[in-house]
Structure 1
């Protein structure tokens, strides 16, 4: 009994000290968070957003849900990174020097994704990988004919329809276009870019590579 009593005695004061101990303020928690290098969640999150950017660029004229996700996620991660870097520069410079590779990972991932997207590398690569299948499909379509496909997979794209007009084959890609229908066009002849082309309705074209163009219907 005495042993039990002596063991229970110190726990009372210790428990009270823990209860009355000052809890970290929001600022202290923020400094503690920023003093640690980017870890297992932040860097993979940056990679996920970068992958979304590359996928969105591979869709003709963009893909609205992916664009919204990449924009929102990118802004959130950029804001978190800037805040973290600012606090770390103020109170934890040695942490930046010791873990410099982690601190550089997110900007490098972002720069690589943006650079590839600006150069249209994802779009060109996806079009080239799908070119043979798309050309074969277009060869089965007659002039001035539109064939609904209902999301049928051709190459690396799901298509809503294929249409031939004035020897230009138009493939409407499912989900393509931020605000207007869009897709790919294949033409052996050069198509003027950025203007309405006679005989092609309200479509505007942008060159991708070789005989391939992106079209957007306005």
Structure 2
């Protein structure tokens, strides 16, 4: 919520500066000379919004953590108990559930209205005995959403 408020404050201040420039005499010529000053902020907002909309931050964090996630999945599938992990890759672990056939973990501090995490199951949708539902993400990995 703070990020949304920050973006709104950023947009409002940009609009005020643009309005002042357009209202004052002689400022229109300055605006033409320094058009990048007014063009860059909206382009940054559109670029960041587009990247968030298509899920680029989620995908990048997952790919950066992929080695640790796959290694952890391999050790759990070989029968090693998951134990008490604090981090898997770039994800702070809230808790783990599962068995050697499938497991899932919730990510700490993921939202106000529910918990989110990942589940690993090479044989289709996970059959973890925990509340929530699953959405396929990549390979044997699923999003685990707990309302």
Q: With the length of structure 1 as denominator, give the TM-score of the two structures.
A: 0.56
1:215 aligns with 2:136: no
Larger Rg: 1
Q: Could you say what the CA RMSD is over the residues aligned between the two structures, in angstroms?
A: 2.6
- Give the equivalent residue in structure 2 for 1:127: 62
What is the deviation of 1:95?
2.2
1:73 aligns with 2:9: no
The secondary structure found in structure 1 opposite 2:94 is: strand
Q: How does 1:1-218 map to 2 (within 5 A)?
A: 68-91=1-24, 92-141=27-76, 147-149=83-85, 152-164=86-98, 167-191=101-125, 200-218=129-147
Q: Deviations over 1:20-55 (max 9, x none)?
A: xxxxxxxxxxxxxxxxxxxxxxxxxxxxxxxxxxxx
Compare the two structures and name the one with the higher helix fraction: 1
What is the deviation of 1:190?
4.3
Q: Number of aligned residue pairs: give it.
A: 143
What is the deviation of 1:171?
1.8
Q: With the length of structure 2 as denominator, give the TM-score of the two structures.
A: 0.79
Equivalent-residue separation in structure 2 for 1:210 and 1:122 (angstroms)? 18
Asked which structure has the greater RCO (Cα within 8 Å, sep 6+), the reply is 1
Structure 2 residue runs without a partner (length 5+): none
Equivalent-residue separation in structure 1 for 2:33 and 2:90 (angstroms)? 43
